[in-house]
Structure 1
């Protein structure tokens, strides 16, 4: 990553086997390390599934939705699969409680059905995702279960 100029400097600590790095001072690089990599990974996995299923689809990455009253917000991924929307929000960490209400509001405002709205939380335990899904009435999943649930959804729909 240093040779590709993502890091401006780094050092390896043999004692604790840790790399300490300083990112280049560029917004696109900071964005990638702050979660952009996860969005790309999820986009790739869903696109791969849809191509294998030979379903027609389009995808918008990071579209900004603006309403006539001035409200606006950015989505992570919005797929249109055989004319049906699929909303994906990706979170790598932090306080996920704040994201649940916000995602629920966005889903409702966009009139996307709960079974076609996925909040993907990196490494969140399956039992926790199931409880959150039941409470919030949309799909809360981790990266390991997302593709299987979408596969089930597109085969049923």
Structure 2
């Protein structure tokens, strides 16, 4: 009898422990449908943190992700240094052919702050001017601790990158994301001027999200021009292991290849076309990105305008 009572007691203890473990796991699991704030907020209770400001300014993108069962975990706050970073990024992107070699040396040396040398002998005067101007600007914001240019007959840049995390983040790929964001804004401005009116625009840059299966994912840029959604990923280095992954994720978003784009800094037009034909994304480089996006967004805007006027959209070329 005593043994039966002991067994029953042990069984009750085991059930209680399993229940407590389940409650603990549930408390750690993200609550589906709640983004950027706690369950207590939804129930009228206090919240430890407010939704990120950039998230609250993107209701269309928020609704789009919600419709796919994707939760926003975090959106980086705007930084007071963004304007400086954007200016450097735009200059680097628009002079990339002249600066790619210099950038590669900086990236290899920045982990330990070793000095670098870049020979500009036999380079065009335009390339020399671009390299010197870029290094001067990097030195002004302390992304280069040292910088010196030796004129004719040496034509040599000597510089020492800083090891500051902000500079490392910029050189490692932030510059490409910020460059593309400015090109997206340019496309929106061009289209707004063409339609002679207001054109809604939202974007999220580097949002951390939770996929429907519970996996974490970070997007580079998600943008809305009018009512159309565009997802853009940027890669300034090895891209091979990402193409298939991003191609699968585009299906999670439900976006076709025209609205899912990967931008590669060091890939030719022919290689971009080949990759685009193999995967469900549009692959392009720095030179072709703005034109590709403008073409798709112009068509989307025309369709939206025609639908608003009750007209049939014009046939595509």
TM-score grouping bracket, smaller chain normalisation: 0.7 to 0.9
Question: Does 2:161 match 1:25?
Answer: no
Range moving further from structure 2, 12-21 or 106-115: 12-21
Question: Does 2:252 match 1:116?
Answer: no
Q: Post-superposition shift, 1:140?
A: 0.4
List alignment gaps of at least 5 residues for structure 1.
Answer: none
Which is greater in Rg?
2
Query: Structure 2 length as normaliser, TM-score?
Result: 0.46
Q: Post-superposition shift, 1:89?
A: 0.5
Q: Post-superposition shift, 1:125?
A: 0.6
Structure 1 runs (4+) deviating above 6 angstroms are none
Higher strand share: 1
Higher helix share: 2
List alignment gaps of at least 5 residues for structure 2.
Answer: 1-137, 193-198, 301-317
Number of residue pairs matched by the alignment: 154
Structure 2: distance between partners of 1:151 and 1:105: 24
Structure 2: distance between partners of 1:68 and 1:29: 34
Query: Structure 1 length as normaliser, TM-score?
Result: 0.88
Structure 2: distance between partners of 1:68 and 1:141: 29
Q: Post-superposition shift, 1:128?
A: 0.6
Question: Does 2:174 match 1:36?
Answer: yes
The residue aligned with 1:60 is 204
Q: Post-superposition shift, 1:71?
A: 0.5
Q: Which of residues 40, 57, 73 in structure 1 aligns to 2:217?
A: 73
Structure 2: distance between partners of 1:11 and 1:47: 33
Q: Residue deviations 1:21-43, cap 9 Å, x none? A: 222422x3211111111111111
Structure 2: distance between partners of 1:68 and 1:151: 31
The residue aligned with 1:3 is 140
